[in-house]
Amino acid sequence: MGFYFAQFLTGLASASSLFLVAAGLSIIFGVTRIVNFAHGSLFMLGAFIAYSISQKFGFWLAVPLAALSVGAVGWAMERTVLSRLYGAPELFQLVATFGLVLIVQDAALWIWGPTDLLGPRAPGLTGVVRIFDQPIPEYDLFLIAVGVSVLAAIWWMFTRTRFGILVRAATEDREMLQALGVRPARLFQATFFIGAALAGLGGALEMPRQPASLLMDLNIIAEAFVVVVIGGMGSVTGAFLAALLIAELNAFGILILPEITLVAAFAAMAVVLVIRPYGLLGRPATSAPHAVEIQPPQTLGQTGRITALGLVIALVVLPFVAGDFVIVLTADIMIFALFAAGLHFMMGTGGLVSFGHAAFFGIGAYAAALLVNNAGLGMEIALFLAPVFAAIGAAVVGWFAVRLSGVYLAMLTLAAAQILWSASVQWQDVTGGDDGILGIWPAAWASGTTAYYYLTFALTTSGIVSLMMLARGRFGILLRAGRDAPARAQALGIDIKLRNWTAIVIAGSAAGLAGGIFAFSKGSVFPDTLAIPNSVDALVMVLLGGLHAPAGPILGAGVFALLEDSLSRLPYWRALLGAAVVGIALFAPGGIAGSLSKWLRRRREGTA
Amino acid sequence: MLDVQSIQSGYGKALAIDDVSFQLEASESLAILGRNGAGKTTTLKTVMGMTPAWQGRIVFKGDDIVNLSSDTIARAGIGYVPEERRIFESLSVTENLLTGEKAGASGAAPWTVERVFELFPEIARRSMAPAGTLSGGERQMLAVGRALMGNPDLLLLDEPSEGLAPVVVNRLGDALAELRKSGIAILISEQNRRLARLAAENVVIMETGRIAYRGTFTDLDKNPEITARLLGV
């Protein structure tokens, strides 16, 4: 009995930090309608900044100062990047905050270095208290008290202060509030400051419990997303209940089966979403007015078709003229072009964002590897089944996501990818953990560099061409209708949810096929196929190429591969990528292809 | 006080109002009448900065306010009561009033929650209730009260009678007549002529986005054929 109570208290203590982060995320979303993917980064900054301050001024000064500093960082993010995107399509807001994750990640690496930093313990709270004869750390009890106090403070602010009333009003109808004379900019800045400070406080309070590390940002954001989705977007009390639920699930799940904790959170979320689609205390979001820039369908023009034909011929001829290095590099580009083409299909044509697209790439790669190594199947069947398994994964994630608004899909895919990545690292018996799975070689007939190159060429080209045809055809038209005018499309009898779901499954299977081909081309699979950087690469390729250009993913994959080859040796390559992502969202939403065609059009008009 | 000069506006590429001009002196009241789709709501929204004007000028108390942000226009002294009322449903009645609270452009702040409750005792009884539980008439009173909390010099009312029972419309008319006496200028768009009359002495009638008649209600009464042509169903 005493032991279980102790475990319960441990759960409550872990819930505190999770609640602080999720509450901040939820408040910011409520007012600005922006899902801040960089919120985990703010948590991480809280931990690092608290560590640095504590070295000079001690623990108790470090915690509040770190929270305030992180609040200031959040405020600066709002001023410099997000305030410019309030009218922009949701997709670019999400993408921009995601770019900030990469920038903060490298900034932290630059300032604090790669090693984990364990902060001091809290003076005065280093002992244990015996409850039911079980030792309970005093600090855990303190954390529980902080969590409850913050909930009370937020409740007080929301109901008793004018600022809180305005925040709640803004959550309902921002435009009306503005027409009453309230300056939205000030409200947004204050909200960002408070939300960020809460995340920073959460990070700072973790000091005695876990070292500040560069992995904190993505770990906590995946969990916080689950919490916010379970609790209901925009509901602080919901976030509190959900944080308790997840933390207790973890605390008790670990007693039964350590591996289960990873899946448990996701399973809990699935159950809640089935019963209450908007979360425990959430309400259907009144969608904020977004600038909908209706994108006319773009097809390859005369020049485009000639270029495509030239490209295909060049790819066929390549092995006769190039060396092994170029052949393998080109095959890699083709694999990533297929991966990106799937993402481009769902994002560009469907307006559906995935920030964890590597999840499906990784499922394909691991499925192929396990089918060959453990099930003893041949390469042909493995390559056939890889996209099937990825499609099943996409179907599960998509099933939940299409029932909710667009931001949920981005959150769910990111959380899914992060959980699969953790599973691939920890579930050593099956995945080999960090050592990966080795010795996955193609069948004898396809084992030469040139032979496998042609197999890659055939599979990726047919995949990309099918995607392009789908996007141009009836399916693509209906998908675009759902993207640009969901209410009208629905009134016309188009089942948008079904279309979107299908699009996600198609994109997932394209990624799975790419993952399968990738596994055989490398002969091995490692957890990083599932990791966030792999998702980011695909995202950057799509954005770089151009979200609404048919050739976008091919162009993007090609340019990205060349850039990566030359730039990835730079020490802060990820931050550069992040800056590029933010820059595209702010200044060149059309990507390379978009900017190019705009330039060409202007030139043509100029000469005519 | 308000000088709307030949404004043009619309949605997307569709023109909704064109060459709309009218003036309003301090403490004066003007009603905009017209059928559905005549451009009344667009006119009010354009004044409020919620729909961009493509052309024209809007001068309020000597300053050009055309296409300023709606919060700036509200702070200049215009209170807005939208057609759909748009009260904050999860907030209590009192909290709804507080969202509109600000000093008037002159710095004076005669309107308080208590004074709004004096004007509308109906909602005073429900001060702690979530606004989402109010009836249509109570919502309208709350929306008017919320706008008054900003101590405006000019009140824009967009079809306040819409969807309300006749007895509630009368009640609202009395309140608006009382407001007029207190010196607030009112610009009201209506289809209900009786309410419009209670709120205003001057009238413009809009038809397909343009002003088709301007005058006083007394003049309008002498010309029933105008009423029949522009407002008859």
Restricting to A residues 157-186, those with a Cβ less than 8 Å away from any Cβ of B are: 162, 165-166, 168-169, 172-173, 175-184
Comparing A283-297, A471-485, B39-53, the range with the smallest average pLDDT is A283-297
| Separation of alpha carbons A541 and A525, rounded Å | 22
Nearest Cα to Cα of residue A280 among A288, A271, A289, A290: A271
Of B70, B95, B98, the CB nearest to A179: B70
pLDDT digits (tens, 9 = 90+) for A127-154: 888 888 888 888 889 999 998 999 899 9
pLDDT digits (tens, 9 = 90+) for A117-134: 888 888 877 788 888 888
| Separation of alpha carbons A84 and A399, rounded Å | 33
Radius of gyration of chain B (CA): 17
Judged by a CB distance cut-off of 8 A, whether residue B150 touches chain A is yes
10 Å Cβ neighbour count for A326? 12
Mean pLDDT of chain B: 92
Which chain A residues have a beta carbon less than 8 Å from that of B147?
Answer: 180
CA distance A164 to chain B (A): 10
Mean pLDDT of A572-578: 82
**Chain B, nearest residue to A176 by Cα:** B86
Phi and psi angles of residue A271, each rounded to the nearest 5 degrees, phi first:
-60, -45
Query: What number is the ipTM of this complex?
Result: 0.94
How much is the pLDDT for A442?
Answer: 79
B142 pLDDT tier (thresholds 50, 70, 90): very high
Of A162, A173, A182, the CB nearest to B71: A182
Contact between chains at B74 and A172 (C-beta distance less than 8 A): no
Per-residue pLDDT at A194 exceeds 60: yes
Nearest Cα to Cα of residue A526 among A362, A406, A400, A404: A362
pLDDT digits (tens, 9 = 90+) for A493-533: 888 888 888 999 999 999 999 999 998 888 888 888 888 77
Residue of higher predicted confidence among A385 and B72: B72
User: What is the DSSP secondary structure assignment for residue B65, as one 8-state letter?
Assistant: -
Q: DSSP 3-state assignment of A268?
A: helix
pLDDT digits (tens, 9 = 90+) for A6-33: 888 888 888 898 999 999 998 888 888 8
Phi and psi angles of residue B130, each rounded to the nearest 5 degrees, phi first:
-60, 135
What are the extents of the domains in chain A?
A: 2-213, 324-532
| Separation of alpha carbons A41 and A218, rounded Å | 7
Question: What's the pTM value of the predicted model, to 2 decimals?
Answer: 0.82
